[in-house]
Amino acid sequence: MPVYGKLFIGARQVATADTFKAVDPQSGESLKPAFSAAGPAEIEEACELAWSAFHDYRDLDADARARFLEAIADEIVALGDELPERGNAESGLPIARLAGERARTVGQLRLFADELRTGGWLGIRIDPALPEREPLPRPDLRQRKMPLGPVAVFGASNFPLAFSVAGGDTAAALAAGCPVIVKGHSAHPGTGELVAQAIVTAVKRCSLPEGVFSLLNGNSHALGGGLVAHPRIKAVGFTGSRAGGRALMKIASERPEPIPVYAEMSSINPVLLLPGALAAGAGALGKAFVGSMTLGVGQFCTNPGLLLALDGEEVDRFVAAAREALQAVEPAVMLTPGIHSAYEKGVGKLLGHPKVQVLARGPEPQGKYCGRGALFSVKGDDLLQSPEIMDEVFGASSVIVRCAGEKELVEVLEHLEGQLTATLHAAEGDEALATRLIPLLERKAGRLIANGWPTGVEVSHAMVHGGPFPATSDGRSTSVGTLSIERFLRPVCYQDFPDALLPESLRRDAPPRPHRFDGAYRAA
């Protein structure tokens, strides 16, 4: 399928005078075609179209919405090899990785379709009337969740498929019954356009109002800011930098009608190496750690950027194994020249820091935008004096913190910001220490991992990909897994409504669904 470089306002492909081009990070060359950039007129049109589609789309029954998500998945698969090939040209990510990401993308769309059919997401609660109750009767109260309205989704640079045009935020919002306007990431507009073609075909196949989906491309902050400020937009999903997320949170909170922004931003994913685990296999841990740290050139939000251990000989063994492993990892191209330059700057700061020691670097890179791995070490008390050492460096850079004792380890952990994950390597003899640390880690992170690595996020029902600020803007939510639908729903209660006026899901003769009846949990 050709890439035209146009925007999608509903089903209509739109060209504008203002254009930009994607850059192949492998060569630094611009890629064809030129892409139209959306301005205020296109924002206005897409938002009004989304609003007009909302009224029908929100009332669509769950099975029809599930079939729509499945149709999007089918159409993405039908794009064939062209999709990972374009993704590779625009992001430098290997074709095999992009094929895996496509499987994850269609898998999560289908998972949401299954979730819709369970009806659990409706959150139904029924408190039947108690007319005889003393001293006051209770009215009949029925609650269900309903969609918020059109959602603005910001595609992420590091997941051109699974967190982009038809990624997790889009799947969750469409499942909830919210039309979606995607602000495509300017690093991969062709990949985004192909996926948009698949969604628009699915909209037509399912005979849905065209405003259910639009794609606005561009490379100026005015586009994202204008979209978030538009009164028809009722929520935002974002994955990217802390500065970008915070800017959008500010715009959203200063609107006449403030709206929620679900931004996933910055996390260094601490990994704790407890003494028993190091004694049982420091070498194997060092090697496995480098595998996680360098995966995808470290460009994962779950990259392990900070290791913590009680200082001792076993830490030296861990470091020796990690150093050897890192020296064997060939640097690969990073997603964009800008991300490469931010990485170099972050590594440069650590290289020049008087309290930080360089333990190992990856081999010299061959390409201009390749990310060369970097492993550093710092003493616990020095880190406490220089907390900037904990600033996220997006890429394959990590710092090992050598702590003088448990007290210092706890102090360092207390100074950590909110995290997506916290990992604990514990073996025989570590139980007491682990038990003391877990409550602290629970306060800091959205997902705790035992004896594993934080990279690799399962898309499932129990997954939490969230955490306190700055990991996300709202630690009560997740952006991966079926629970992420909750971000785009709100509860509505109907008091003393006759059946004829109630939504179908709350009527007395509604098909059985999981719900709470008079406070008790009931299966379907």
Give me the least distance between CB of 469 and ligand NAP, in Å please: 12
Per CB under 6 A, 23 contacts ligand NAP: no
Q: In this chain, which of 244, 312, 363, 514 binds ligand NAP, going by CB under 6 A?
A: 244
Instruction: Tell me how far CA of residue 65 lies from CA of 2, 60, 294, 311, 503, in angstroms.
Output: 28, 6, 39, 55, 17
Per CB under 6 A, 167 contacts ligand NAP: no
Q: Choose between 145 and 242: whose C-beta lies nearer to ligand NAP.
A: 242
Near ligand NAP in 370-409, by CB under 6 A? 394
The neighbouring-strand residues paired with 138 are: 130
CB 135 within 8 A of CB 194: no
Identify the active-site residue in 47, 178, 301, 370.
Answer: 301
How far is the C-alpha of 294 from the C-alpha of 291, rounded, in Å?
6
How far is the C-alpha of 17 from the C-alpha of 311, rounded, in Å?
60
Q: Choose between 36 and 186: whose C-beta lies nearer to ligand NAP.
A: 186
Per CB under 6 A, 513 contacts ligand NAP: no
Near ligand NAP in 265-284, by CB under 6 A? 265-266
Active site residue 264: yes
- Report DSSP state, residue 71: H
Stretch that binds ligand NAP, among 108-116, 156-164, 268-276, 491-499 (CB under 6 A): 156-164
Q: In this chain, which of 153, 301, 333, 412 binds ligand NAP, going by CB under 6 A?
A: 301
Give me the least distance between CB of 165 and ligand NAP, in Å please: 12
Per CB under 6 A, 419 contacts ligand NAP: no
How far is the C-alpha of 212 from the C-alpha of 50, rounded, in Å?
6
Active site residue 47: no
Burial 150-159 (b: 16+ CB within 10 A, else e): bbbbbbbbbb
Stretch that binds ligand NAP, among 77-85, 196-204, 260-268, 360-368 (CB under 6 A): 260-268
Stretch that binds ligand NAP, among 11-19, 117-125, 197-205, 244-252 (CB under 6 A): 244-252
Per CB under 6 A, 250 contacts ligand NAP: no
Q: What is the DSSP string of 272-338?
A: EE-HHHHHHHHHHHHHHHHHHHHGGGG-STT---EEEEE-SHHHHHHHHHHHHHHHTS--EE-S-HH
- Report DSSP state, residue 211: G
CA-based diameter of the chain, in Å?
A: 81
Stretch that binds ligand NAP, among 48-56, 155-163, 351-359, 411-419 (CB under 6 A): 155-163
Torsion over CA: 503, 506, 507, 511 (sign): positive
Per CB under 6 A, 340 contacts ligand NAP: no
> Which residues are annotated as catalytic?
264, 301
